[in-house]
A and B are shown apart, each in its own frame.
Chain A
């Protein structure tokens, strides 16, 4: 009896040991032998993907330390170019001058599409680009002028510095700022709540955040869908890039590869973006 219980105790201990051992999935295998630190900075839209990947990697191998900071695309280029970080993120393609000055290599990994959205009760389901511009600059203020019911338009925008706002104003408003009388909300989730609760609302969310609670609006007859954005038919999109100084090696290379792995694609989708195939 006592031998039996001692045996089972040993077994239990062994089981405990194995369960504590980090589990390396296929995508995480390259990190098994690596250690050291990796610093990432730049675009804010990238942060959820970068942070998610960093957490998974650091959990699998505690000897690796990854820091993720924001700052915006300009900061991303500058920091990676001057060697302060190993990966600099941008929400735009690098300029020719930046590539030649620093010798940077770009890795586009996700498509960030932004959809204009209204309340599901709204009869307006499609708008022209010039109408959208007039709405968000405050020239059109009533749904009547757009073929809807006679009601004032409730305008919702994102805060300054948000990647979603940057994409929307850059691609849909041709870099014109939206009017300062618009209500400002501070996340895709808050935007969805606002539009879903307000029958006269119009705003914009990342395409990945569209669901039954809000109605996506077609721009120039182009429906805001993941597929249309991936094919390049839908106009309000941008690519998200990671940039390295020269071809990446070691931990940096492993991290870039991880973003393109199945785990990375899952993180990209979870953050509301569309994975972009490696070229």
Chain B
């Protein structure tokens, strides 16, 4: 290709840059592997402890019970329910945002795009603080109890992951849609029809990517559940039950403990969090690959 020759750098510089990029990649990968290995090694004493096993349903450190299972369950419940709430919303927002054709509403489209981008930059502590004063009293009057519950944390976490998922979906769908537009519109299809009937069925990877990212953020967020879910260390049986997620649990325990069985069990908790996000990522990737190879692109 004679055209591309003009764009390439002189050969030695090119290979030097290549070397640096490779070195940086190797370093980054090694750092991630080292981090995982460290967590696994640190978690071993807790995992194989005969007296203080983390695999039980009771957390009472003063009575020798260091079970983290209720917190594991509550983290998963919170992340899944937040995903269930936020995913359809995100998809709906993206569809509207990409297909709104009414010229009178173009300012609303632009403003909304800006708003969503702004939403990603709101620190979770601000979200939590606002929710403590606005959402918690509302839940208290509506459902009784203290208002600090799984539902409150779920709603706020879904608000937290919503803009992330919107941005991921939009960046994956906008360009393919623009590519389809000239021919599609000429055939008499609307942007909405192009997106929903032609593009979306082929965009499982993008949608799953958004879901994975949303799930990861929901699973790992600490401050929202810490301030809103009530932190009672037990399995929530109802949406209005007070509950404690793994991340909130780690924040609560590290504040006061250094060393000891309670501290060690935190590494098991960390390992579980890491394992969960890893499994979900791998599973969804496999799913995406299987689907995309099955369908004709």
Contact = CB atoms under 8 A, between A and B. Distances in A.
Interface of A: 44, 69-72, 75, 152, 154, 156, 159-162, 177, 180-186, 190, 193-194, 197-198, 200-201
B247 interface: no
A180 B252 contact: no
Interface string B126-150: 0000001100110010001111100
A161 to B, nearest CB: 3
B258 A198 contact: no
B162 to A, nearest CB: 26
B234 A180 contact: yes
B242 A161 contact: no
A177 B233 CA distance: 13
B258 A75 contact: yes
28 contacts: A44-B256, A70-B256, A71-B258, A152-B145, A159-B252, A159-B256, A161-B255, A161-B262, A162-B256, A177-B62, A177-B63, A180-B232, A181-B242, A183-B146, A183-B231, A183-B242, A184-B230, A184-B231, A184-B252, A185-B231, A186-B231, A186-B251, A190-B227, A193-B132, A194-B146, A197-B136, A197-B137, A198-B146
A160 B148 contact: no
B253 A160 contact: yes
Contacts of A183: 146, 148, 230-232, 242
A206 to B, nearest CB: 15
A160 B145 contact: no
A160 B61 contact: yes
Scoring B146, B148, B253, B259 by chain A CB atoms within 10 A of each residue's CB, the highest score goes to B146
Contact of A159 (B133, B146, B231, B234): B231
Contacts of A44: 256
Given A70-B256, A183-B146, A197-B136, A161 B61 contact: yes
A197 B129 CA distance: 13
Interface in B228-248: 230-234, 242, 244
Interface of B: 58-63, 132-133, 136-137, 140, 144-148, 226-227, 230-234, 242, 244, 251-253, 255-259, 262
Nearest to B61: A160
Contacts of A200: 146
A160 B250 CA distance: 12
A44 B259 CA distance: 14
A154 B146 contact: yes
Contact of B147 (A69, A162, A182, A198): A198
Contact of B253 (A152, A161, A197): A161
Given A160-B61, A194-B146, A194-B148, 6 more contacts: A161-B256, A162-B255, A181-B234, A183-B242, A184-B233, A186-B251
A4 B148 CA distance: 69
Contact of A180 (B59, B144, B258): B59
A180 B74 CA distance: 15
B132 A197 contact: yes
A198 B145 CA distance: 9
B132 A161 contact: no
Contacts of B233: 180, 184
Contacts of A180: 58-60, 232-234
Contact of B252 (A72, A75, A186, A198): A186
A220 to B, nearest CB: 25
Contacts of B226: 186
Contacts of A197: 132-133, 136-137
B243 to A, nearest CB: 10
A185 B227 CA distance: 8
A184 B232 contact: yes
B63 A159 contact: no
Nearest to A183: B230
A36 B61 CA distance: 38
A117 B126 CA distance: 27
A75 B244 CA distance: 28
B223 to A, nearest CB: 11
Nearest to A185: B231
A156 B227 CA distance: 13
A156 B242 CA distance: 11
Nearest to A200: B146
A70 B234 contact: no
Given A152-B144, A160-B62, A186-B252, A181 B232 contact: yes
B142 to A, nearest CB: 14
A262 to B, nearest CB: 30
